[in-house]
Amino acid sequence: MKVDGKVVVVTGAAGGIGAALARRFAAEGAAALVLADLDGAAAAELAATLPGEVVGVEADVTSEEQVAELVGETLGRFDRIDLFCANAGITSGAGLEASAETWARTWAVNVLSHVYSARAVLPSMLERGSGYLLHTCSAAGLLTAVGDAPYAVTKHAAVSFAEWLSITYGSQGIRVSALCPQGVDTPMLRDGLKEGHIGAKVTAAGGAVLSAESVADSVVAGLEAEKFLILPHPEVARYYLHRATDTDRWLAGMRGLRDTLA
């Protein structure tokens, strides 16, 4: 799928990967962009800098009602949604000490928001017989997130849900991609390093830290190829294979990396 001429919604669009996607989609000639973020003012500010028909709105992706309103208002204004990017995500930096509230919040943002957007947008896509869902899942969804149990678990669930969507609706014209980058130079990673989170240290040490713009380049290429797994860090595919074929060795290596950086 080429973004040119398409109506696109991006959540978590005010910064990081979401903002990079918005800028790249605008440059690719999207017919319309709807940028949603919990910080509506920041989303609107970004929208004002981009060419074409771009709007920035406030939306809490953990609220199914607000996600449904986002989809409904976009359909009312532009008549269709060709690509929905469920990009919002959060980390916790916590292990067993993570509170029930932390688990619930991480689950709501990293998993349920994808469920809510799919529920809201799929009926219109299925009626047209075409549509694309891009879910930002992280390499943690294929591997793990050292030092962040809620993030590791929820990102695995996000990949699993994206797989389920592809299996269930792929024969009805719906395409699904799971974006799984490793280290990306975003406020999320920088804040984690500043706070000394072991997970951020492992991520930064595990390979190249890419710019958000580089990730957006990979997304455009992945969408055009209609690949399920979009891997801005190609080495993640190798790590994923090692994890599957020699799990004990992979776990030992991850323990060693954690012990070295703890």
Q: How far apart are CA 151 and CA 154, in angstroms?
A: 5
Alpha carbon distance 127, 149 (integer Å): 39
- Amino acid type, 34: V
Q: How crowded is residue 260: how many other Cβ atoms within 10 Å of its Cβ?
A: 10
Closest alpha carbon to 183 in 14, 16, 10: 16
Q: CA 51 to CA 119: how far, in whole Å?
A: 30
Task: Report how far residue 31's alpha carbon sits from residue 238's, in angstroms, rounded to the nearest whole number.
Answer: 37
List strands edge to edge, sheet with 83-86: 53-58, 32-37, 7-11, 83-86, 131-136, 174-179, 229-230
Amino acid at 37: D
For residue 151, indicate whether it is catalytic: yes
114 closest CA partner among 84, 149, 151: 84
End-to-end CA distance of the chain: 43
Q: Which residue of the set 116, 132, 151, 239 is catalytic?
A: 151
User: Burial code of 240-249, b = ≥16 C-beta within 10 A, e = fewer?
Assistant: beebeeeeee
For the annotated catalytic residues, the residue numbers are 151
